[in-house]
A and B are shown apart, each in its own frame.
Chain A
Amino acid sequence: MITVQELSKNFSKKTVLENVNLHVNKGSIYGLLGSNGAGKTTLLKIIAGIIKQDTGSVMVDHSKVFDQVGIKQRMIFIPDQPYFFSHYTVKQMAEFYADLYSNWNHERFQQIQRILKLDINNKVHQFSKGMQRQVSFWLALSAMPEYLVLDEPFDGLDAVVRKKIKNLIIQDVAERQMTVIVSSHNLREVEDICDYIGILHHGQFLFEKDLDDLKSDIHKIQIAFKGDLPTKLIDSFQILHKEKRGSVYLVIIRGDRVEIDETIASLEPLVYDLLPLSLEEIFVYEMEGVGYAIENILV
């Protein structure tokens, strides 16, 4: 469990994070979204105990992280550009990890090797970018971390590699309750694996949501009445968005599905359809609700 409370961080005189709160449950995958420069990397580095916050606290399993070897043993941070010692082969890097992480699992290392089919005697620097990324996951997952902190892990990777890596992550989350925080500036990249999403903008969270709640909470309906929309509907539910095409209204509405069904049925609509809503659409309307256009915040 990762708990971030009232976290602030300045670089020189520039505020990067301001009173950030974050909660990640054990065994979940948290998607940290935000445009470039929103403060994602800084937040992740603070959570991983690399840099120190100015104020606020970061607790992982009720322990501080900065300079705490115990908790860092169970956590691995993979930066957007994976780092390897120059001229090290995969094997040498693996030896280095094995020496430092006490949970290192050599069988897992060999198992992943069979999946990735990379030569352990090659120098990591001679690999392509995608292969290097795979090596970093290979090493990280072989160290059997309980927490995996990923900064833009899929950026610039092809679909095949992306798929491979996602599978590796999901497998560990499912098998041994690994907790993952993954940042991205692209919602589509992470929507299929995350259970939680948080959007960071200019160092502050715009909102945080459980994806399941989000999907069951927001609905797109096509509806037509004789005359205008009944005021009861407008008063009972939060209307995030509405537009009129002829006599048919397209409404994005927030509320419990059963309740909405019942209310609308009682109003005797001429037309009533509940349409599927993609995660991206949900975000578009959610953000409109708090006064932002999503294009400004996410790609």
Chain B
Amino acid sequence: MTDRTWIILGASSAMARATARALAGEGVGLLLAGRDAADLALIAADCKLRGARFAEVMRFDARNAAGFAALIERASAEEGELNAAVFVGSMPAQADIDADPGLIGHVVTDNFRGPAEFLHRLAPLLEARGGGSIVGIGSVAGDRGRLGNYCYGAAKAAFHTYLSGLRNRLGRAGVHVVTVKPGFVDTAMTWGLPGMFLVASPDAVARAILKAVRKRRNVIYAPFFWRWIMLIIRMVPEPIFKKLKI
């Protein structure tokens, strides 16, 4: 099936690039959206040479909702199945947030508000077409607030809840929503951070994402074993958890 089109938000991220490349190999059309136009142009060229039906660079800035309409309009011009994958997000160090709580606004906008508003504007189009998939990248950090990154985690938790509701709504129209909760992935975000273990490659996560889309899974952890790690972490009683440093 080559009449599929995927909107990739935050297409410069390592996970997004790996996903776009895997999709290119399947011959889909790609709208690669983000802020670094020069880098996106290289990614688009790469995806085309790797088999994408087309690959175009679009602007997307989670902090500028005024720009969302143009991207949605461009997508609507493509016939056939429309899909979207949201990789945008930001994770400032908790210490930076502690020093400047004003950063919380950006964390919420980048990880929740911008993506949710975009998806909400896109949803009617997918509903009208009666198919397609939405992939939202959450985080294991959103499963429980922890000392190390609870503002980021809180924004991701909001996004998880939003995706859950969106799935509930769009499922009725035949549109599937996948929530992806990556553990540690070998990206710029985790490069050189202390305490990393069982780090997955972006390619492995991309494969897991596309498999989840094919199998219409609802919530996946990537790699899969984070489901069990997070199950344990969620089960720790709060009186104990509040004393932990994990």
- Do the two chains belong together in a single complex? no
